[in-house]
């Protein structure tokens, strides 16, 4: 039986286990939307295509599966680019389906025509323009395979309108075999033997874990290594939740706004086990001073990331889970329990750093943003999925909420995309209806994609939005204060909407307070309501995020409170 291209697409998506699509219809995808309406795949109608990609991103992270979004040609496609770039930087597996003008009109500057394949080539793991309907089913299968295998990432499929209406027999390969694409999952055992030897000798070891641990579902194996060898653990922003944030071996996040003890540990360690990280500049600070006293081991599935930013002594190409499984096995065979070098002095030193220079703020008459996050952690008992916008709110959410499980902290790490948090929360809530999902936002960033509150209301997704409202674009203001002699150029938000009335206008619920003594009760009330809720906290206007490593400085050159 012959099927239309639109029907073939739906059948292929069903075979990939797709249950939810985030999207926005248009003329070039009207056949696809008609076919979609005849399936049980649920469609979440967003209010802007950027929101669709961020929602698919949040869905993918919370669910641990490929997220999918569907948009039309031209502006519909170009509106996805920021979201695609964010997913690419953070290695998130999503498939973006875009409509295209009929093949006969490609290159004619037709209505709503744009070369989205060319535009997204630098920010997708791979992309396709489907010119033959017989290639469509195979292309979909390849796209999901590429998006979710090796180092994950976004894959775009551009489908001309005539392909969606043409007919052919559905035929998809059972298994994908791409000659030019064969990720290395299993590590070289000789390299792992070198790692075991280094661990045997190390007196001041540290594990630095990244988002690769979460993407490969290797948190249990990471914990097994740290507990057995008694090695302190820090993570990048993307790695939060890979190791319990309440465990005694936890150092806190590393980098520009990392904890004092995490940054000092990197400076003083003699062995750094870097697993599933890419040594982002926000993590390393001045690279020549980064872990300068240590032997560095780097485990990553992407060989191009090794030696890219930091030269390492032992490179290991492999999947984090497969590598840690094998490494744990070899360590237990070769280093009996309690035969590790005495690390008491090292652990005591770290504890002293924690005791003398903790994260700190002083809560007085005006609400401090850190206080709101701490109380949110207490009220939710650390069980919420937290999404963030980007800026000070993102850093305080990373510092003051403690993540014991993976996939509970969802943020735009690499691209640093304001406007990410709310649509990502919608995607996460769709993926995990059993969980409380909270977007921690600033009053500037929430306005980037506030229209998606209508999406949450329409689809009965009870996400909570905590706004740390300081009347500024806070992180830029902080830099202007510290490095530009307090010349606040264009960072004062002189007008903002009434967020309580705005919530009500969207059919959600709004609360506001400027009193510290009301923070807990507002959080409790907002969380108890089974609807989308905005909680607007009027906070200290010129509060800064500390510690802070100024750009170009070493990790030890921190500005402290």
Catalytic member of 16, 49, 113, 268: 49
Whether omega for the bond prior to residue 547 falls within 30 degrees of 0, making it cis, is yes
Q: Known catalytic residue: 49?
A: yes
Annotated active-site residue in 11, 15, 63, 112: 112
Active site residue 542: no
Active site residue 368: no
Look up 540 and say whether it is catalytic: no
Tokens of 184: 């290395």
Polymer length of the chain: 561
CB 543 within 8 Å of CB 481: no
Residue pair 448/82 in contact by the 8 Å Cβ criterion = no
Q: What is the 3-state secondary structure (H, E, C) of 118-183?
A: HHHHHHCCEEEECCCHHHHHHHHHHHHHHHHCCCCCCEEEEEEHHHHHCEEECCCCCCCCCCCCCC
5 and 133 Cβ atoms separated by less than 8 Å: yes
CA distance 290 to 283: 9
Do residues 347 and 232 make contact, with C-beta atoms less than 8 angstroms apart?
A: yes
CB-based contacts of 170: which residues, under 8 Å, 6+ apart?
A: 3, 8, 11, 137
CA pair distance 298, 313, nearest whole angstrom? 8
Q: Catalytic residue among 31, 50, 125, 161, which?
A: 161
How, if at all, do strands 167-169 and 2-4 pair? antiparallel
> Cα dist. 243→210, 220, 239 in Å?
10, 8, 8
Signed CA dihedral, 410, 416, 421, 424: sign only: negative
Do residues 309 and 287 touch, judged by C-beta distance below 8 A? yes
3-class SS of residue 509:
strand
| CA angle centred on 304, ends 299 and 308, rounded to 5° | 85
Instruction: Indicate which residue of 111, 351, 515, 524 is catalytic.
Output: 111
For residues 213 and 234, the answer to whether their CB atoms sit within 8 Å is: no
Phi and psi at residue 316, in whole multiples of 5°?
-130, 110
Which position among 10, 89, 253, 475 bears the catalytic label?
Answer: 475
Number of helices followed by number of strands (H, E) in the chain: 22, 20
Active site residue 208: no
Pair 148, 155: CB distance under 8 Å: no
Quick one: DSSP state of residue 305?
G
- Which one, of 239, 242, 241, 263, lies nearest residue 251 by Cα? 263
- Which secondary structure element, helix H or strand E, spans residue 82, and what is its range? helix 81-89
Instruction: Identify whether the C-beta of residue 113 lies closer than 8 Å to the C-beta of residue 100.
Output: yes
What is the set of active-site residues?
49, 111-112, 161, 475
């Amino acid at each position: 039986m012959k099927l239309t291209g639109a029907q073939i697409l739906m059948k292929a998506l069903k075979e990939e286990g797709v249950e939810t699509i985030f999207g926005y219809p248009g003329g070039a995808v009207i056949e696809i939307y008609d076919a979609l309406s005849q399936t049980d795949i649920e469609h979440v109608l967003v209010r802007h295509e950027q929101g669709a990609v961020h929602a698919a991103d949040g869905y993918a992270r919370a669910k641990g599966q490929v997220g999918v979004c569907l948009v039309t040609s031209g502006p519909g496609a170009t509106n996805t680019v920021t979201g695609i770039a964010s997913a690419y930087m953070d290695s998130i597996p999503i498939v973006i389906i875009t409509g295209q003008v009929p093949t006969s009109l490609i290159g004619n500057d037709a209505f709503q025509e744009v070369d989205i394949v060319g535009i997204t080539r630098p920010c997708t793991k791979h992309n396709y323009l489907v010119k033959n309907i017989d290639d469509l089913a195979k292309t979909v299968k390849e796209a999901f395979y590429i998006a979710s295998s090796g180092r994950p990432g976004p894959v775009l499929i551009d489908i001309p309108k005539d392909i969606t209406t043409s007919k052919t027999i559905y035929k998809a390969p059972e298994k994908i075999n791409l000659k030019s694409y064969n990720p290395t999952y299993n590590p070289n055992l000789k390299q792992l033997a070198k790692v075991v030897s280094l661990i045997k000798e190390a007196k001041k070891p540290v594990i630095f874990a990244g988002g690769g641990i979460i993407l490969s579902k290797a948190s249990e194996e990471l914990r097994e290594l740290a507990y057995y060898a008694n090695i302190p653990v820090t993570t990048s922003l993307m790695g939060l939740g890979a190791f319990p944030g309440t465990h005694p071996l936890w150092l806190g996040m590393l980098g520009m706004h990392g904890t004092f003890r995490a940054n000092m540990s990197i400076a003083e360690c003699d062995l750094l086990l870097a697993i599933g990280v890419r040594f982002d500049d926000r993590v390393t600070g001045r690279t020549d001073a980064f872990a300068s006293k240590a032997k560095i081991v780097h485990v990553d599935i992407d060989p191009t990331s090794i030696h890219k930013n930091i030269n390492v002594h032992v490179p290991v190409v492999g999947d984090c889970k497969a590598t840690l499984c094998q490494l744990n096995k070899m360590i237990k065979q070769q280093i009996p329990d309690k035969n590790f070098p005495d690390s008491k002095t090292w652990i005591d030193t770290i504890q002293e750093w924690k005791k003398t220079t903790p994260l700190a703020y002083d809560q007085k008459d005006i609400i401090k943003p850190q206080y709101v996050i701490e109380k949110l952690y207490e009220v939710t008992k650390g069980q919420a999925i937290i999404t963030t916008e980007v800026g000070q709110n993102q850093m305080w959410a990373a510092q003051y909420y403690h993540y014991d499980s993976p996939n509970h902290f969802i943020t735009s790490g690499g691209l640093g995309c304001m406007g990410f948090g709310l649509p990502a929360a919608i995607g996460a809530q769709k993926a995990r209806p059993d969980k409380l999902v909270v977007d921690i936002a600033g009053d500037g960033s929430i306005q980037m994609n506030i229209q998606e509150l209508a999406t949450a209301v329409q689809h009965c997704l009870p996400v909570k939005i905590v706004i740390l409202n300081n009347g500024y674009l806070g992180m830029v203001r902080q830099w202007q204060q510290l490095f530009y002699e307090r010349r606040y150029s264009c960072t004062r938000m002189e007008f903002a909407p009434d967020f309580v009335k705005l919530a009500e206008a969207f059919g959600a619920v709004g609360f506001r307070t400027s009193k510290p003594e009301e923070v807990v009760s507002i959080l409790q009330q907002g969380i108890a309501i089974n609807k989308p809720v905005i909680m607007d906290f009027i906070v200290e206007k010129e509060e800064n995020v500390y510690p802070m490593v100024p750009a170009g400085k070493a990790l030890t050159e921190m500005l402290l409170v």
